[in-house]
């Protein structure tokens, strides 16, 4: 039996098992096996060609992966904000390779990649799904592009339940299955080898010492120290054990808003992590760029030489959480001496003094 058949069998077993306290242990072991087989499927032993057009050098201050189902307007958006030409037409699967482009915003050089349209089953390697996923994992931000004009969205103003009628759950599921977690925090679990020891600092609603031990044994781990600092799910614990999960921010971009009603637009725009645009008409492009900057958590700080005015023509682009040790001395007051651990904030002016 191949890996795909094993995955299908486990998924069927999970779907027909009632979910309650009595079955948590059984479901936990099934999820552990499922995650193990998916990891084997997506990261097979041996090396092979990456595929034409997918081996793109990461450059700039940040990388954004633009994903979505075919024909949602990704190529049009790339051309609009970067000036990059990507082959496009009104039929599915037009973009066959990974098309890179760049744009400058607030001094940051941001690379954006137009990936071929993801189809259902990408996690099993259908189409070029595996290559698309591999590139998406290298990104600092995922833009999930969606079509606001699809027929199922026309009922939004009646139902008020956008997630029941959009492709968001389907795309999110595809990414979850390949180890990409969207808009989630990394579980606060300390984990290292050294004799199986399970110590939950807070009360756990799902994890038990027996379940933790048996999941570790599935991965042939017989020596481990596990310190759980928050109430985590079984899936979150498995993520830590597998160790190859990517936690990425995601911005949901609904395109073609010029073709829907104001009522429908209002409902879509109220969703979390959501921006609405019309790539063809160039509507809301500045707001989209601002949203990308915000979700990338970038900082721009300026440098100052001794006895000179700050240089505001250029700035250093840093990640949120950067400290003086990264870039120098920040000023909250005028002036202020701080230690190496002092966190920098956006628009700080720094002066580096060598003693």
- What per-residue confidence (pLDDT) applies to 251? 96
Are residues 146 and 79 part of one domain? yes
Are residues 349 and 214 part of one domain? no
Are residues 174 and 268 part of one domain? yes
Are residues 345 and 304 part of one domain? yes
Q: List, as one string, the DSSP characters of 308-331.
A: S--EEEEEEEEETT-BHHHH----
Could you tell me if residue 55 is inside a domain?
no
Are residues 202 and 82 part of one domain? no
Could you tell me if residue 238 is inside a domain?
no
d(CA 1, CA 189): 34
Neighbours of 95 (CB within 10 A): 21
Are residues 327 and 254 part of one domain? no
Lowest pLDDT segment from 153-162, 243-252, 269-278: 153-162
Are residues 71 and 115 part of one domain? yes
- What per-residue confidence (pLDDT) applies to 32? 93
Q: How confident is the model at residue 321 (pLDDT cuts 50, 70, 90)?
A: low
Could you tell me if residue 209 is inside a domain?
yes
Could you tell me if residue 57 is inside a domain?
no
Could you tell me if residue 107 is inside a domain?
yes
The residue range of the domain holding 222 is 188-231
Highest mean pLDDT among 168-172, 301-305, 347-351: 168-172
Could you tell me if residue 70 is inside a domain?
yes
228 Cβ neighbours under 8 A, 6+ residues apart = 188, 189, 190, 198, 199, 200, 201, 202, 204, 207, 237
Is the separation of the CB atoms in 53 and 97 below 8 Å? Answer: yes
Query: Which of these, 258, 272, 295, 287, lies nearest to 162 by C-alpha position?
Result: 272
**Strand order in 311-319's β-sheet?**
311-319, 298-303, 349-350
Could you tell me if residue 314 is inside a domain?
yes
% of the chain residues with pLDDT over 70:
69
d(CA 120, CA 113): 20
CATH of residue 311: 3.10.20.30
Instruction: Count Cα neighbours of 311 within 13 Å in the Cβ-side half-sphere.
Output: 11
Query: Which of these, 196, 237, 236, lies nearest to 217 by C-alpha position?
Result: 196
**φ and ψ of 197, to 5 deg:** -135, 120
pLDDT tens for 87-146 read 544 334 445 577 888 999 988 899 998 887 665 566 666 666 677 777 888 899 999 999
Are residues 284 and 155 part of one domain? yes
Highest mean pLDDT among 88-92, 189-193, 267-271: 267-271
**φ and ψ of 111, to 5 deg:** -90, 135
Are residues 195 and 76 part of one domain? no
Find the mean pLDDT for residues 69-74.
Answer: 84
Lowest pLDDT segment from 87-96, 191-200, 232-241: 87-96
C-alpha of 234 from chain center: 20
CATH of residue 82: 3.40.50.300
SS3 10: helix
Whether pLDDT at 45 is above 90: no
Whether pLDDT at 354 is above 70: no
Are residues 152 and 68 part of one domain? yes
Are residues 321 and 225 part of one domain? no
Are residues 161 and 30 part of one domain? no
Number of domains, the chain: 4
- Mean pLDDT for the chain overall: 78
Find the mean pLDDT for residues 233-262.
Answer: 92
Q: Is pLDDT larger for residue 36 or for residue 327?
A: 36
pTM of the model: 0.77
């Amino acid at each position: 039996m191949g890996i795909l058949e094993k995955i299908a069998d486990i998924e069927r077993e999970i779907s027909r098992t009632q979910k309650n306290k009595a079955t948590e242990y059984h479901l936990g072991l099934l999820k552990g096996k499922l995650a193990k087989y998916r990891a084997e499927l997506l990261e097979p032993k041996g090396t092979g060609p990456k595929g034409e057009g997918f081996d793109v050098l990461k450059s700039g201050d940040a990388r954004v992966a633009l994903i979505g189902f075919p024909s949602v307007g990704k190529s049009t958006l790339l051309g609009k904000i970067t000036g990059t030409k990507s082959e496009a037409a009104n039929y599915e699967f037009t973009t066959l390779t990974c098309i890179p482009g760049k744009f400058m915003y607030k001094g940051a050089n941001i690379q954006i990649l137009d990936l071929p349209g993801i189809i259902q089953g990408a996690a099993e390697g259908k189409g070029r799904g595996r290559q698309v996923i591999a590139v998406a994992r290298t990104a600092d931000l995922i833009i999930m592009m969606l079509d606001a004009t699809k027929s199922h969205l026309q009922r939004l103003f009646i139902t008020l339940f956008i997630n029941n009628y959009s492709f968001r759950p389907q795309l999110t599921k595809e990414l979850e299955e390949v180890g990409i977690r969207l808009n989630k925090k990394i579980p606060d679990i300390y984990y290292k080898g050294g004799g199986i020891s399970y110590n939950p600092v807070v009360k756990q609603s799902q994890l038990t010492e027996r379940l933790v031990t048996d999941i570790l044994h599935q991965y042939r781990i017989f020596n481990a120290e596990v310190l759980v600092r928050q109430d985590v799910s079984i899936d979150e614990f498995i993520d830590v054990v597998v160790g190859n999960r990517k936690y990425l921010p995601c911005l949901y971009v609904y395109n073609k808003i010029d073709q829907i009603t104001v009522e429908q637009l209002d409902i879509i725009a109220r969703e979390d992590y959501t921006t609405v645009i019309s790539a063809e008409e160039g509507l809301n492009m500045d707001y989209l760029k601002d949203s990308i900057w915000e979700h990338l958590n970038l900082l721009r700080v300026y440098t100052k030489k001794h006895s000179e005015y700050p240089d505001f023509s250029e700035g250093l682009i840093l990640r949120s959480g950067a400290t003086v040790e990264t870039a120098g001395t920040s000023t909250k007051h005028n002036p202020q001496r701080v230690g190496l651990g002092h966190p920098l904030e956006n628009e700080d002016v720094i002066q580096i003094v060598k003693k």
